[in-house]
Every structure is written in structure tokens, then in C-alpha cells.
Amino acid sequence: MYRTHTCGELTIADLGKEITLCGWVQKSRDLGGMTFVDMRDRYGLTQLAFNTDDDETLRARARELGREYVIQVKGTVIERSSKNLKIPTGEIEISVSSLEVLNAAKLPPFLIEDETDGGEDLRMKYRYLDLRRNPVRSNLILRHKMAQVVRAFLDNEAFIEVETPVLIKSTPEGARDFVVPSRMNQGEFYALPQSPQTFKQLLMVSGFDRYFQIVKCFRDEDLRADRQPEFTQIDCEMSFVEQEDILNIFEGLIRDLFKKVKNVEIGGLPRMTYAEAMRLYGSDKPDTRFGMEFFELTDFAKGHGFPVFDNAALVVGINAKGCASYTRKQLDALTDFVKRPQIGATGLIYLRINEDGSLKSSVDKFFDLEQLKTWATAFRGEPGDLILIMAGEVDKTRKQLNELRLEMGNQLGLRDKNKFSALWVVDFPLLEWDEETARYHAMHHPFTSPKPEDIRLLDSEPGAVRANAYDMVINGTEVGGGSIRIHDKKLQQLMFKHLGFSEEEAQKQFGFLLEAFTYGAPPHGGIAFGFDRLASIFAELDTIRDVIAFPKNNAGRDVMIDSPSTIAQEQLNELKIAVKN
């Protein structure tokens, strides 16, 4: 037997025990006639003591151990003279009687410590060493715990975990499908699923009633925005439910997760309509860790000769509490911020409510004091506040002010990673206009049901049709989204038509689903959570990369194994495909 205990479990209660431990050399130090070695494994650190007086040879061998050597020691648990009460094993050490080097180690290319000197590229190339670092490993242990809690919760709620296929069918709609040439069916391709959407709907048609799966999905797209070509979804579907049933169940799931994994009570999740979220936050994923809601002052602001306001469809602002002391320079920086190309505003107007109650605005010459006072009141402005105002087209201006609001949240320290604010955003539009293709696209996907009372608007005012669709948002991030699905063949055909499918296309791609709907499809709906994203929020990280054991870089490459790579001509021949130059 390699070991009797792990490096995390021996305490003062074990004094005198003869034990065997295995682990990695974290570091060692000499002190007089002694050498102390910190030995590490997943479970903790244990201090080993080698004493020249006891065994000179052994101590000499201990001094030769390098960092990250894998060793096995036998010895006795003794009390430490200088205790470290920060760790569970800090009151004891091992008086070592025998030492075996199980594997030597070269000096790692970066420090295996909480704060490493390794850059991103080096850490990824040697990811197996990076994963030795406590923060990275603990992220993955957290992820493991989350997965177990999710499964236990759903199992308890009568959900059945069903594995759906990874080798599925490519559709022209699936522009970002990864495809897989088939050897047995030469010239034909499978596709990797972007989600198990149609399969989970078929499981509802099958009467599975409640389905879930923690499942890899794939999308071959630009990876700029902290995305991965393969990602993991917590995928769920239920039959005989209305939207409210789904919101209640999965609100329960997320509360259970926070409670069991982080011991945080997040309370009930408010529901906010999409329209309200856009109006109050300029975003369908508002960060509600802080207020600073939008206030629209279009009616107050127009007709006073200030062209920026007069030509604007919307004049809207936020109250940055306590920011009246912002200097000219700081205000200019904010203006520069909103003028950045990725935000694209033309300018920023401010109204400063000085500590003495006096007002100062960048549009003093168009508005008199009384008017400015009206604004201040509208924003519930108090001495010390800074009101920031933008104007322009409705959607664009809201988006720009959303960016500014988030920036102010950052500047004011209102976006603590260890505070959590979750909500549901509901009543999403069914369709969204795509400038590029000049047609409407499904905002969620083509299987989302419209609100029955809005179906009549499909022809006349498609953009106004609301869907039975909902997102769960935590701290300004969409962590999950879903909808009540269409379960009626005719309505599904109508949707395909509105999305620009010909009848033939719809039949060719989704004929099996349309046909399934004719054999007794129950009303159903579901949700999918982005597990990587959810885990990163729980881990209080900015990126999903460190909750993934072996992530790919922004170019979709795994630099550790050097993938993707060219393949042998033989393999190409067998698949009957050729690479074109």
C-alpha cells in the first residue's frame, strides 16, 4: 500500500501514529541540524522533519529533494514546535524514518504556487502543472461539487438524465456546426450538436416528462468573447408545464446550488420583463448588484434648443451617487469611454449636484436652473450626486448608457464578485431583425413559442411579438435561457415560414420533428444553463477558462497537445476527402 493517509488529514489527534504518506515536494528549508519539507497532495500539506541527529544520511537525502519531486515517506506523527494554525495539519509534523523518491522532477517552467510567475501561454502549454496550483484545482473541485448538487436536485425532482447523440445531423441553419466526415458513409457528414434541442423535445414527445443532461455542446465560431469551441450545458426539459412552473423549479435549483456550494442565500428571483430591463438598464442581462437605474427625461429635455436632445428619440441618464467630486479629467475620461468605437456614443452630458446644493451642467447654456432642478429631482438627486445623460436613437442609446452604467459600477466598487444578484428576464421578443441578412431571425431558436395573444401580430408587426422565453441573469451575465416550445405542427410550420424557410427546407431539416408533433406531442418547455459560465461566477472569476481543465485558446487551439493538427493522407483517403489550398 502506497500510503496510510493523505497529506491533508493528520492532526494533533494522530500524535504517535506510524504513517506512510505520498506527495509532491512543495518546498524545503534548512534550520540548524534539521531539514523541513512541505509535502503536498490534493488534500493538503504536511510538514516532514529530517534531523541530522537521528539519521544523517536520510537528512542529506532530504536536502537533495527538488521542488515537485514525488516522494513516499514513512514516519511518526509528532507535535510541531512552531505551529501553523492556518492549516488543519499545522500542529504536527512527520519525523521521517524512511524516504523513497517515486519520481524525480525537473524544475517546473513556472512556480507551482497560488500566485504564479507563469504567463497565460506557458500555463496553457503546461496545463498539467498549472492544474497543480491550488486556485486552479479548487475551481475544478468547485465545478465537480456543482455538478453533483445539480444532479442530486434534478434527480430528486424526478428528472431523468438521458444521453443524447453527439454525432447528429448538420443543417444549413447550423452555420457554425462542426462536421465529422463518416468513413462508413463516404461523402456524408455528421455534425456535432450546438445543443441537444430537438432530441430533448423528442424525449418530451416520448413521454419522458422531465429530462436533464450535463452535456458538451459545440460551436465553431469566433472565440473572442471568452467562448470555447466546446462548452457544457445543463440541459433540461419538462412536459405539461407553463413558464411559471419552469421558473419556479430552476429558481429552486439555483438557490440550492448557492446554498449548498457557497452557503449563500440568494433569496427569491425577481421577474423583470425584457421591455423593463431594456428601459431600466439598457440590457437584457442587467447587473442588479447595484441600482443606478435609467431615468428617461426625453419629455423634459426636448424643445429647449439643444440640438443633441432635440434630434434624439431618447434622452436618458443615470445618477452616479456621490460622484459630484469627479474632476474635469475624470469626466473627460468618461466621455472618452462612451466615445470608444465599441460603444460609439457621440458625447456625454453631466449634471453635477454639488455638496452645497448648487448645480453645474455641461448644458448650462440651454437649460436654466429651474429646469436643471427638475432633472435633479427626477433622478432623486442629492448633494454629491453626478447625473450622466446620453441621447440618440432608442436602442443604441440604451446600449451605450448600459456600458456607462457598468463602468460606473466598476468605478464605484459596486460589482463585487462575491455578491450575487439573480433575476429572471421574461417576455423576450420572438424575433429580432438582422441588418446583415435583412430579415427576422429567431431570438432564441425556431422552436420557441410566441405568446398566444401576440400571434396575430406575426404578419403585421413581427418585431412586437413576444415569446414565452426567459433568461436567468446573475450579476449581469446570462447564465441560462429557455422557452416554452411549440408543440403544434401547424404553428411550427408557420414559424419556419416567418423565419424564411421554404416548406421543402423545413421538411428536409426538421421533418422528423414536425412529424413527431403529429403523434401526440405534449405541451413542453425547458431551459439550458451555460455550466462553464455558471461555474466561473461561482468561482468568482472573470473568465470561463479556469473552470475548464483543458481549455482551448482564442484560436481554438489546445497548445498542450498541439491540436488541431494536420492528419495523414491515408486518413484523408479513407474518408474520401481532400484538403484544398
Binding residues for ATP: 219-221, 228, 478, 530-533
Q: CB nearer to a copy of itself: give 135 or 181.
A: 181
HSE (side-chain half, CA atoms, 13 Å) at 280: 15
Least Å distance, CB 500 to a copy of itself, is 16
Q: How far is the CB of 251 from a copy of itself (least distance, A)?
A: 16
Q: How far is the CB of 347 from a copy of itself (least distance, A)?
A: 38
User: What's the full length of the chain, in residues?
Assistant: 581
- Cell numbers placing 183: 468513413
Nearest approach, Cβ of residue 215 and a copy of itself (Å): 9
**Based on CB atoms, which residue is closest to a copy of itself, 86 or 224?**
224
| CA–CA distance, 466 with 478 (Å, rounded to integer) | 19
Considering the complex, state which of residue 387 and residue 513 has its C-beta at the smaller distance from a copy of itself: 513
Q: Which CB atom, from 70 or from 541, has the smaller least distance to a copy of itself?
A: 70
Query: With the C-alpha atoms ordered 296, 302, 307, 311, is the resulting torsion angle positive or negative?
Result: positive
Residue 422 C-beta: closest distance to a copy of itself, Å: 24
176 DSSP 8-state letter: T
Angle at 473 between CA 386 and CA 201, to 5 degrees: 155
Cα-Cα-Cα-Cα torsion 341, 342, 344, 350, nearest 10 degrees, comes to -110
Point out which residues pair with 73 in neighbouring strands: 21, 99
CB of 239 to a copy of itself, least distance (A): 8
- Please name the helix (run of DSSP H) or strand (run of DSSP E) that holds residue 507, with its range, or none: helix 503-516
Q: Do you find a cis peptide bond into 286, omega within 30 degrees of 0?
A: no
Q: Which of 83/183 has CB closer to a copy of itself?
A: 183
Question: How many whole angstroms separate alpha carbon 196 and alpha carbon 194?
Answer: 7
Closest CB 474 distance from a copy of itself, rounded Å: 21
Instruction: Choose between 160 and 333: whose C-beta lies nearer to a copy of itself.
Output: 160
Strand, helix or coil at 559? Answer: coil
Angle at the Cα of 367 (from 365 to 371), degrees rounded to 5? 155
Per the CB < 8 A criterion, the answer to whether 74 and 96 are in contact is: yes
> What order do you get walking across the sheet with 210-218 strand by strand?
160-161, 210-218, 230-239, 524-530, 477-484, 469-474, 422-426, 271-273
Name which of 141 and 464 has its Cβ closer to a copy of itself.
141
Cα distance between residue 219 and residue 451, in whole Å: 29
φ/ψ of residue 174, rounded to 5 = -80, 65
- CB closer to a copy of itself out of 433 and 512: 512
Closest distance of CB 472 from a copy of itself, Å: 21
Binding residue positions for L-aspartate: 173, 219, 444, 485
Give the C-alpha separation, 337 to 326, whole Å: 15
